[in-house]
Amino acid sequence: MKAGHWLPGVFAAGLALIACWASVPGGDAVAFEAERTRRAFTGSFVARLVSLESGSGTSVIAHLDDCYLPVWRQLRADGVLTSVSVFELSYYDSSIVSTSICEYLVLAEIGQDISPADLLDAEKSSACQGSQNTPGFSVLRSAHMLCTPNSCYGMPEPGHRDGGAQLDYLVEFIAVDDAPDLLAKYRELVSEYFGPANGVLVENGMLHCFIALENTEVLLSSHEAVPWNQIHISDDWDAGGDVDWDSVYVEVFQSALSCDLDSVWAELPPTDDSRHDTRGRLIPHLCVR
């Protein structure tokens, strides 16, 4: 969730850009995506930041493909899972992560009335049971997360395009001060302003998706992990070409929300130095819909 500048008549221009940014997934994915673009949805997710040391003889993608993907597909058929998205992460600040470590975000949406334990136990009872013994493979952080109210629109999809190339996503790991009043204030501002503003941009085709998630429970965390309690996912704004995103948000706040972006932004509670922005490349064949 960054402040981004607007060109005159950008809503009209945005409609013209839809043809360039259109997605072309399969039939089920089209229905799945269309439903979530029309209105804010609520969802329950297990988010896992995983890594694999280079030179370990395998890769995260191959490991997830061999071990987890068949299980995820069966759990999707059984109603335990609604979707799975896997992002390969590149940190904008290259000093944050050693080049010998590759990190991935595994975002699994679980079904209604399903607990994180239902997913994790199913994985453990399968061929994935030995995954924690795979040399170099580790889960750095895992959390149960919910959609911030009014703040989840669309979904990252393999068919989303940036011109002729697959669209990348901005994946933000945010650590808001964990004082209850500050977390409540952050939630209030996102659900009343930043979420709906991004929802406007998803609805008119300027963005493919905006997903704001907040922790309900940390399931596992290592000292190497970014201690996030919020994750925001949206189009990588480089995809907008010459669109002045700061002005886009100024205009949306004024026209759709009747308020001033800078004033609302100034009310956001502080975050610590653990906020890291990454570029996420969606791994198409590991997506489960």
**Is there a contact between 177 and 270 (Cβ–Cβ < 8 Å)?**
yes
The CA-CA-CA angle for residues 124, 129, 133, to 5°, reads 135
CA-to-CA distance for 92 and 10, rounded, in angstroms?
Answer: 28
**255 in a structural domain:** yes
Residue 51 β-bridge partners: 103, 138
pLDDT for residue 149: 97
Residue range(s) defining the domain that contains residue 69: 10-286
**239 in a structural domain:** yes
**1 in a structural domain:** no
**5 in a structural domain:** no
Predicted TM-score (pTM) of the model is 0.84
Please state the length of the chain.
289
Tell me the pairing of strands 81-91 and 276-282.
Answer: antiparallel
Neighbour count for residue 272 (Cβ, 10 Å): 11
Of 102, 34, 25, 33, the C-alpha closest to 64 is 102
- Give the CA count within 13 Å in the CB-facing half-sphere of 143: 22
**2 in a structural domain:** no
Of 209, 274, 230, 249, the C-alpha closest to 2 is 249
**Is there a contact between 64 and 71 (Cβ–Cβ < 8 Å)?**
no
**92 in a structural domain:** yes
pLDDT for residue 173: 92
pLDDT for residue 238: 63
**Is there a contact between 152 and 28 (Cβ–Cβ < 8 Å)?**
no
pLDDT tens for each residue of the chain, 289 residues long: 554 433 333 333 333 333 333 333 345 555 555 666 666 888 999 999 988 766 555 677 888 888 899 999 999 999 999 999 999 988 766 455 444 457 899 999 999 899 999 999 988 877 665 555 565 678 899 999 999 999 999 999 888 877 777 888 999 999 999 899 999 999 999 999 999 999 999 999 889 999 999 999 999 998 878 789 999 999 986 655 678 888 999 999 999 999 999 999 999 998 876 557 888 999 999 999 9
Total structural domains in the chain? 1
CA-to-CA distance for 107 and 116, rounded, in angstroms?
Answer: 12
Dihedral of CA atoms 58, 130, 158, 174 in degrees, nearest 10, equals -100
Distance, CA of 39 to chain centre: 17
pLDDT for residue 236: 84
Sequence letter at residue 43? G
Q: What is the CA radius of gyration of the chain?
A: 19
pLDDT for residue 229: 95
**121 in a structural domain:** yes
- Could you tell me the sign of the dihedral formed by the alpha carbons of 245, 161, 26, 279, in that order? negative
Which run of H or E residues covers position 247? Answer: helix 245-257
**4 in a structural domain:** no
Task: Report CA-CA distances (Å) from 163 to 17, 104, 221.
Answer: 10, 25, 38
